[in-house]
Structure 1
Amino acid sequence: MSDKLNDLQEKRLNRRLVIGSMGAAAAVPAAGAILGGIGGQAAAQDSELSGSANDIIAERELTPEDVTAALETYMPSGKMDEYMMFASSGHAGQVFAIGVPSMRLFRTIAVFTPEPWQGYGFSEETRAVLAGGNINGKQINHGDTHHIALSETDGTYDGKYCFIHEKVHGRIGVIDLEDFVTKQIVKNPLLVSEHGGCFVTPNTEYILEADQYST
């Protein structure tokens, strides 16, 4: 029994060493490419990982693919993501600004629902914004955000505005990307609800909505 246990432990140790050495070879070039491209600085590429890094790889039994995947999404403090994604929050009625590839949540942008922690819906200015989404004089302080459209100039994203449609009540929220704050909510009087999407024309002259149920 003791010999079998020793053999098993030896095989396990050898497997960890192989994973560690393969992880170092596969991961370091990927890290250099990502950091160099985003930060604009050439990242130092060591031929070997530190002992502690190899220990982590071995302890967690990570494959080379695991290590590469982790490095492709890791972004050190002080470094900027290459892209930013705006994602709807569904029944929370908000929009999330998320960094890519790190997937860090940069901001929860309040749109159709009050947010006490950022004061949205509690000041005169933001209460007036929410009131723009009232229907027939009835206050509607909830929503179901779905599809997002970004403003364009000559058919290219210009980074000025983010438009988010609200499915349940057929409304559009307008977010200013200068400060990531909702500046307007517009109720479309022709729609009960909408679902198919939110689209802008090439110079953002118009915002197109697709209804779910006809009036």
Structure 2
Amino acid sequence: MTFEFKTIKEAEEALERVEEDLIMGKISEEEYKNQKRKIKAYISLLELEDMLIEGKITEEEYKQKKAEYQAIISGEAVVEEEAAPLAKEVRKIVSKIKEVKGKREKLRDLLVNKEISEKTFNKLDSEYEEKEKSLTSELAEKKEELESRISEIEEELEKVRLQLEELRARLALEEISGSEYDSKKLDLEEKEKRLSNEMISLKEALELLG
């Protein structure tokens, strides 16, 4: 499937439709991940154009990032993003909650089909209900952690971008050599990429919480 959007809003609406398709069972988990990756790359590409216009990035940086995003959109590049530890924890809890809910539904079916007594149903359902409450409470705590960490990353990314901007200025003013610039620029870009990947992972986990 190919995508073409004129605005970020169009891309975000397409992302919502893809999520609905997954929920409705119209597409597989793998198809969902693939389409979501491409749409997000498209959003990043549109944001990149705004950053260039606003002078937040150089023409060189724009071309480099643009090529990366276009490769993802076209399917030429496969991006493997390692989920942040906190995001993994959230996914694990969400999975457990789904499992408990599934068991409660199965338990109710057993009662409806008269395979177990109401007394047995109440006892077991009460146990699963407590597990679900405990997991839901744990998930609520993780949501606060997610939001806090995302806020921290946003601040860190802003600092990194300002450092890159300052670095370009110092090079232009001949305060630093080209080799020093390249070395520091590489370190900062690697940090920016790591933080951005963590941000993506955490935001995806946050989406699971609704």
More strand by share: 1
TM-score normalised over the length of structure 1: 0.19
Q: Quick check: which has more Rg, 1 or 2?
A: 1
Q: Which has the higher contact order (CA 8 A, sep 6+)?
A: 2
Of Structure 1 and Structure 2, the greater helix share is in 2
